[in-house]
């Protein structure tokens, strides 16, 4: 029975899996940044009620939120090569499908997935901004772009920050699905390592420890950032343009 479980293997596997941590973090960072950009675009389209685009994005959000991420990952992995074939035939191009890294398919799937979820978070955060502050900014002669950059987004970020922290933690854990399309992230490295010596339990304990530590670090940083921001100062509504000028000076 002594060979059934050997804790010493956990220590042996940790350095092997840590080497794959940069890939996991790369997927997380790219998906988060891409998801924020896409989510912001979708949120603005919905807030502005732009015809056609609003309906298209509504279907997109519904589909991404109503289907498993693993299915979306496979749709990206098997669907994008078909799309490239169609493009090659229609436009007489010569994209080499066989040399597209699997990581690209993972980026596409995760960005689309995160964009759908983050769009609702961003939209709710923007709509939570006090209308008096927007009116005060308009009375100062600010353009719509200036109002968005200097008034709306800083305060929407404060509202969304706790949710974004939780989203980032969930994203880190969801990246574990990337190994299903041959990406050598932490789980991909764990699969290879366990297959070599059949120490499945030990290797997955090692993987869980790494994920756990990374999530603890992210949670710690998120809490520090939240505490550093003066919520009362930023979220306090203004009554006129003079109060808004004072608040903008404090934020700057």
For residue 93, the SS3 value is coil
Whether residue 110 contacts residue 212, with contact meaning beta carbons closer than 8 Å, is answered with no
The residue ranges of every structural domain in the chain are 8-251
Cα separation, 16 vs 66, in Å, equals 36
Cα separation, 58 vs 45, in Å, equals 10
Q: How far is CA 161 from the centre of its chain?
A: 13
pLDDT in tens, the chain (252 residues): 457 888 889 999 999 999 999 999 999 999 999 999 999 999 999 998 999 999 999 999 999 999 999 999 999 999 988 988 888 888 888 777 778 889 999 999 999 999 999 999 999 988 888 888 888 888 888 888 888 888 888 888 888 888 899 999 999 999 999 999 989 999 999 999 988 888 899 999 999 999 999 999 999 998 888 887 755 445 555 444 445 445 555 545
Per CATH, the homologous superfamily of domain 8-251 is: MetI-like (1.10.3720.10)
Find the farthest-apart pair of alpha carbons in the chain and give their distance in angstroms, rounded: 78
């Amino acid at each position: 029975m002594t060979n059934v479980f050997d804790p010493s293997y956990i220590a042996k596997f940790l350095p092997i899996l840590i080497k794959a941590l940069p890939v996991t973090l790369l997927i997380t960072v790219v998906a988060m940044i891409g998801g924020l950009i896409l989510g912001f675009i979708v949120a603005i389209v919905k807030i502005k009620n732009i015809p056609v685009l609003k309906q298209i994005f509504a279907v997109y959000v519904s589909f991404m939120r109503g289907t498993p991420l693993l299915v979306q990952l496979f749709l990206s992995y098997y669907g994008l090569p078909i799309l490239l074939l169609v493009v090659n035939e229609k436009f007489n191009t010569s994209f080499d499908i066989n040399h597209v890294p699997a990581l690209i398919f993972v980026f596409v799937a995760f960005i689309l997935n995160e964009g759908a979820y983050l769009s609702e978070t961003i939209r709710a955060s923007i709509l939570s901004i006090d209308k008096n502050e927007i009116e005060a900014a308009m009375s100062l002669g600010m353009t719509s772009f200036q109002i968005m950059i200097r008034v709306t987004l800083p305060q929407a970020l404060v509202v969304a920050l706790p949710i974004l922290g939780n989203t980032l933690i969930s994203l880190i854990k969801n990246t574990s699905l990337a190994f299903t399309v041959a990406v050598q992230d932490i789980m991909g490295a764990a699969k290879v390592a366990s297959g070599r010596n059949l120490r499945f339990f030990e290797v997955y304990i090692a993987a869980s420890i790494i994920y756990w530590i990374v999530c603890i670090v992210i949670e710690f940083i998120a809490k520090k950032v939240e505490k550093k921001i003066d919520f009362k100062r930023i979220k306090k509504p203004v009554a006129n343009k003079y109060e808004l000028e004072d608040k903008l000076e404090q934020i700057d």
